[in-house]
Amino acid sequence: MLEIKARLKIPRAAYKVEVKGQLRLPFEARQKSRLRARLVSGEEVGLMLPRGEVLRGGDLVVASDGRVIEVLAEPEKLLHIESAELARIAYHLGNRHVPVQVVEGFLRIAADHVLEEKARGARRQASERANSVVDAPALPRRVYALIAPAGIRDTTFV
């Protein structure tokens, strides 16, 4: 099994780097520091990255044999929420410990029929979209935020 233990920290455009493989992962898997996965080619790999690092679509990682592998963000179904009360909605999503992509004018969360009904019931515009979490085109790299007010826990929709 091929081991991946490091992420290239240099900007991709700084050097001409030859990519020799692709690793397609959903957002949930890209958050993990220890993971067994398969490259697009079918080869088995083990991720052993430093804790706390989140892989983004387009990141480059280095395998134990020296190959450079590109991380691809797997498209996922997302719930796109638009409202004049985004701060209030984000607060309630945070109480449920739901990962939220916060961008000016809208929020995105993983598709969830219960939260979609709640958003529609409150007369907010919510629609499903297929996109990669956080790695949507034209968005800054660091727009992911886990919003969870301290001391408040609502387990109604766990």
pLDDT in tens, 53-74: 889 999 999 999 999 999 999 9
Average pLDDT taken over every residue of the chain: 77
- Name the band, by pLDDT with cuts 50, 70 and 90, for residue 124: low
Span 76-145: which CATH code?
A: 3.30.70.790
Q: What are the beta bridge partners of residue 60?
A: 70
Is residue 147's pLDDT more than 60? no
Does 2-73 carry CATH code 2.60.260.20?
Answer: yes
Instruction: Using only the alpha carbons of the chain, give its radius of gyration.
Output: 18
Nearest to 93 by CA among 118, 56, 128: 118
- Assign 3-class secondary structure to 22-84: EEEECHHHHCCCEEEEECCCCCEEEEECCCCCCCCCCCEEEECCCCEEEEEECCEEEEEEECC
Q: Which two tokens stand for residue 30?
A: 């890209």
Tens digits of per-residue pLDDT, 16-44? 888 999 999 998 899 899 999 999 999 99
Question: Is there a common fold for 2-73 and 76-145?
Answer: no
Give the domain ranges of the chain: 2-73, 76-145
Nearest to 133 by CA among 114, 109, 113, 112: 109
Q: Which two tokens stand for residue 101?
A: 């992509």
- pLDDT for position 96: 85
3-state secondary structure of 124: coil
